């Protein structure tokens, strides 16, 4: 895509658009064409070289953030990249939030993609602006552009000492032809990229002026609360809304019909109560008298379903990766080990539950305000629900009070749009915490069976793994088996240098809506694989960290296809983002060093460690725990080393790793969604708790590995090693092996 000379990347416009998949409108460049020569007068006006950058005549720069801010700092890091390449002064930059629009390319803030998949796109946006400003100044001065440079918000001609500010050049730059090639800055010249920068929203967060989806208010708005069938696929039989309509403040009761099969991103249906305030809407909803046909999923019970999964992995599945002869290697092993691991359904449970406001204009078009991770999908789903074209739907993106994958699904946004159309007034739909936990898109329940063999010297000679979980694909189409993309998340990308390996996928039907949660299938795959590696180390009588290094083996690039796996590399080329065992071992060694691995601990305390690659980021976590004689667990400290390639804002990376530690601990200690009669049992943080301050470790220590590699993921990769590191530490402290989550269901006494 580019050639690099003296640390500067040279990118042609054609190659950039082709290689970033933006041909056909993903990157819209606006420039007028004219031929100019000799010294010229400055022309006034603004300058918009592309859809991300607008330079005002005043010299102020507006930069559009086309991704969603949910605490990860994307509205800061995205601006850092563009402003750096543009050589814009930070205090003269204003951030604008982009609406849902295909002209921005991919807007789905999901999968740790905002930087790792758009770093060059963002740099290109800034570099084009800088190049055109340089060309404009050179044209005005009648000198070669090669003699000019843009830095510190101005273009300079070193030979003459001339300088023109960006604002002065804006009007003339708008007349310049679009450059055929731009140069990316050398990393040595970065002003913002790689530097810790305060959040652009930090003050608003601190003083309470930040506006989230739940804060939206428009004139003449109604508030809606919706009663949905407790079981996915159920249907409304009858409703008596007499008592609901008698509640003070209630304006209307509207039936939304039934959900679709498969559910997709469509509303679940149900009965909505509309009122002049949220409280009245909720009280009216409580007064509804409803009869449901619970449908075919009413027999779903999480306890019995676990037994089905365990039975599934104890029988042969579909082979998805195979090398060597596992059966023969197991038969010839000096010792073998069998283990079954279980992880339950999980809810994303963001602090701000789903909320959206919709308004129908006189011409039938729709305007949305929503805490959405994916405004373009929201635009498409709302258009389909209302019978409109996507261009007739405007999706305004608010700040998100957490997302973790839940707010990529716009079912709640479509609910607001439908109610606005049916009521003839703007409507805000606010989900309660109970709605969020009981009617979400759940992280899949899973069961995995592993069998390993070691030789007389303790070396692992065989690895057999079966995994069963309801697929996310079941939300969109009938399917019973895990998909190749889900198996690529921590299973078929197994990095261990074991000659004999077989991985099988086993069928599992979905009875709830399955969706993605932070790090997706890596969560349960890392739990099983990293725990089993620790078990093999103890079977061999070896130090777990040293054994892990031996399992990972020599420095190399792992290619799953060589073992027959259909592997998807998080949407990016395996050649550019290989599975690099050297980087995996480096973070493992670093986390071990940070934790003082090998030191003697008092009785009842233990150290555990795990390492995992996900979303193109490499993360190792070591955990120290204490377990009292009564079985009370305390995670005392975590140490995390991360290699995310080129880092834009180290403060944000550190915060993401700290947040991943807390998020991962919540899943490990408490996270569990159960079902009886097809309905979700848990409803709020009393029954689906996150860790409390008293449970938090005294420190989460983070070290960012220096790297010039292409950017990898940050938001998701910190979660997978947390559970196995804690569970391995529990074994070190107590000798008790944990093979199921959450830990609140496990006796450690």
Given this model, what pLDDT does residue 42 score?
A: 67
Residues contacting 706, CB < 8 A, separation 6+ = none
Residues written for the chain? 749
SS (H, E, C) 667-710: HHHCCCECEECCEECCCCCCCCCCCCHHHCCCEEEEEECCCCCC
| CA pair distance 372, 410, nearest whole angstrom | 7
| CA pair distance 1, 17, nearest whole angstrom | 10
Given this model, what pLDDT does residue 39 score?
A: 52
Q: Whole-model pTM? A: 0.94
Given this model, what pLDDT does residue 18 score?
A: 37
Given this model, what pLDDT does residue 37 score?
A: 31
Please state the φ and ψ torsions of residue 269, each to the nearest 5 degrees: 80, -165
CATH match for 302-347+441-745 among 1.10.1040.10, 1.10.150.130, 3.20.20.80, 3.30.365.10: 3.30.365.10
In 3D space, the residue among 128, 125, 135, 124 whose CA is nearest the CA of residue 164 turns out to be 135
Alpha-carbon dihedral sign for residues 128, 130, 133, 138: negative
**Domain residue ranges of the chain, discontinuous segments joined by +:** 2-197, 213-296+354-430, 302-347+441-745
Task: At 156, list the tokens.
Answer: 């300079």
| CA pair distance 418, 416, nearest whole angstrom | 6
| CA pair distance 71, 373, nearest whole angstrom | 12
| CA angle (686, 688, 694) in 5-degree steps | 70
Task: At 327, list the tokens.
Answer: 């059966």
pLDDT averaged per 10 residues, the chain (length 749): 39 42 30 34 82 97 98 97 98 97 96 96 97 98 97 97 97 94 95 97 96 97 98 98 98 97 97 98 98 98 98 98 98 98 98 98 98 98 98 98 98 98 98 98 98 98 98 96 97 98 98 98 98 98 98 98 98 97 98 98 97 98 98 98 98 98 98 98 98 97 97 98 98 98 97
In 3D space, the residue among 546, 551, 526 whose CA is nearest the CA of residue 724 turns out to be 526
Q: Cα 469 to chain center, whole Å?
A: 20
Given this model, what pLDDT does residue 27 score?
A: 25
Given this model, what pLDDT does residue 41 score?
A: 63
Packed helices 74-86 and 119-141: angle between N→C axes, nearest 10 degrees: 30
Task: At 32, list the tokens.
Answer: 């007028």
Question: Do the two domains 2-197 and 213-296+354-430 of this chain adopt the same fold?
Answer: yes
Given this model, what pLDDT does residue 44 score?
A: 74
Given this model, what pLDDT does residue 36 score?
A: 29
Given this model, what pLDDT does residue 45 score?
A: 83
The third-level CATH classification (topology) of the domain covering 213-296+354-430 is: Aldehyde Oxidoreductase; domain 4 (3.30.365)
Given this model, what pLDDT does residue 24 score?
A: 29
User: In the 8-state DSSP scheme, what is residue 91?
Assistant: G
CB–CB of 288/271 below 8 Å? yes
CB–CB of 731/738 below 8 Å? yes
CB–CB of 579/555 below 8 Å? no
2-197 — its CATH code?
3.30.365.10
| CA pair distance 505, 468, nearest whole angstrom | 6
Given this model, what pLDDT does residue 43 score?
A: 67
Q: Pinpoint the alpha helices (H) of 263-410.
A: 278-286, 302-313, 326-331, 375-386
Given this model, what pLDDT does residue 11 score?
A: 52
């Amino acid at each position: 895509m580019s050639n690099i000379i003296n640390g500067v990347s040279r990118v042609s416009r054609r190659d950039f658009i082709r290689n970033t998949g933006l041909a056909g409108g993903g990157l819209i460049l606006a420039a007028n064409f004219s031929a100019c020569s000799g010294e010229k007068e400055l022309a006034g006006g603004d300058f918009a070289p592309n859809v991300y950058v607008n330079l005002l005549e005043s010299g102020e720069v507006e930069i559009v953030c086309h991704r969603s801010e949910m605490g990860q700092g994307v509205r800061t890091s995205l601006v850092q990249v563009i402003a750096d390449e543009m050589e814009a002064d930070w205090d003269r930059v204003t951030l604008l939030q982009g609406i849902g629009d295909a002209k921005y390319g991919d807007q789905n803030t999901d999968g740790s993609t905002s930087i790792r998949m758009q770093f060059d796109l963002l740099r290109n946006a800034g570099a084009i602006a800088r190049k055109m400003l340089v060309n404009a100044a050179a044209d005005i001065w009648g000198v070669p552009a090669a003699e000019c440079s843009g830095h510190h918000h101005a273009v300079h001609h070193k030979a003459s000492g001339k300088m023109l500010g960006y604002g002065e050049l804006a009007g003339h730059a708008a007349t310049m032809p679009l450059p055929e090639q731009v140069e990316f800055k050398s990393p040595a010249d970065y002003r913002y990229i790689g530097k810790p920068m305060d959040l652009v929203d930090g003050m608003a967060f601190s003083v309470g002026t930040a506006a989230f989806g739940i804060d939206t208010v428009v004139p003449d708005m109604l508030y809606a609360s919706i009663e949905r069938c407790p079981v996915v696929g159920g249907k409304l039989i009858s409703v008596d809304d007499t008592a609901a309509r008698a509640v003070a403040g209630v304006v209307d009761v509207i039936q939304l019909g039934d959900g679709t099969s498969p559910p997709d991103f469509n509303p679940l249906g149900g009965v909505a109560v509309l009122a002049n305030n949220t409280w009245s809407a909720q009280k009216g909803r409580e007064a509804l008298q409803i009869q449901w046909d619970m449908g075919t999923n009413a027999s779903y019970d999480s306890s019995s379903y676990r037994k089905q999964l365990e039975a599934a992995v104890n029988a042969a599945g579909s082979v998805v990766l195979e090398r060597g002869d596992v059966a023969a290697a197991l038969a010839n092993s000096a010792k073998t080990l069998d283990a079954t691991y279980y992880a339950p359904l999980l809810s994303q449970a963001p602090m701000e539950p789903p909320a959206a406001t919709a308004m129908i204009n006189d011409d039938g078009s729709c305007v949305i305000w929503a805490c959405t991770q994916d405004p373009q999908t929201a635009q498409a789903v709302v258009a389909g629900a209302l019978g409109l074209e996507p261009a007739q739907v405007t999706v305004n993106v608010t700040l998100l009070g957490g997302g973790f994958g839940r707010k990529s699904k716009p079912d709640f946004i479509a609910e607001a749009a439908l109610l606005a159309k049916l009521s003839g007034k703007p409507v805000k739909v606010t989900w309660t915490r109970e709605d969020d936990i009981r009617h979400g898109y759940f992280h899949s329940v899973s069961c995995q069976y592993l069998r390993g063999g070691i030789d007389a010297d303790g070396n692992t000679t065989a690895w057999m793994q079966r995994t069963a979980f309801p697929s996310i694909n079941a939300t969109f189409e009938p399917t019973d088996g895990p998909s190749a993309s889900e198996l690529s998340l921590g299973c078929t990308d197994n990095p261990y240098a074991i000659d004999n390996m077989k991985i099988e996928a086993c069928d599992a039907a979905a009875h709830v809506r399955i969706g993605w949660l932070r790090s997706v299938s890596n969560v349960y795959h890392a739990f099983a694989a990293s725990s089993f590696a620790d078990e093999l180390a103890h079977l061999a009588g070896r130090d777990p960290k040293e054994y892990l290094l031996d399992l990972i083996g020599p420095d190399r690039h792992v290619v799953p296809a060589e073992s027959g796996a259909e592997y998807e590399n998080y949407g990016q080329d395996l050649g550019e983002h290989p599975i690099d065992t050297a980087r995996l071992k480096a973070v493992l060694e670093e986390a071990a060093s940070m934790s003082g691995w090998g030191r003697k601990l008092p009785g009842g305390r233990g150290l555990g460690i795990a390492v995992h690659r996900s979303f193109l980021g490499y993360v190792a976590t070591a955990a120290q725990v204490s377990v009292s004689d009564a079985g009370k667990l305390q995670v005392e400290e975590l140490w995390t080393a991360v290699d995310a390639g080129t880092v834009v804002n180290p403060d944000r990376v550190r915060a993401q790793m700290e947040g991943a530690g807390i998020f991962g601990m919540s899943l490990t200690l408490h996270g569990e969604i159960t079902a009886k009669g097809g309905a979700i049992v848990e409803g709020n943080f009393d029954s689906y708790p996150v860790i409390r301050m008293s449970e938090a470790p005294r420190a989460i220590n983070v070290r960012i590995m220096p790297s010039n590699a292409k950017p990898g993921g940050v938001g998701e990769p910190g979660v997978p090693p947390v559970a196995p590191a804690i569970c391995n530490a529990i074994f070190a402290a107590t000798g008790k092996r944990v093979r199921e989550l959450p830990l609140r269901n496990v006796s450690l006494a």
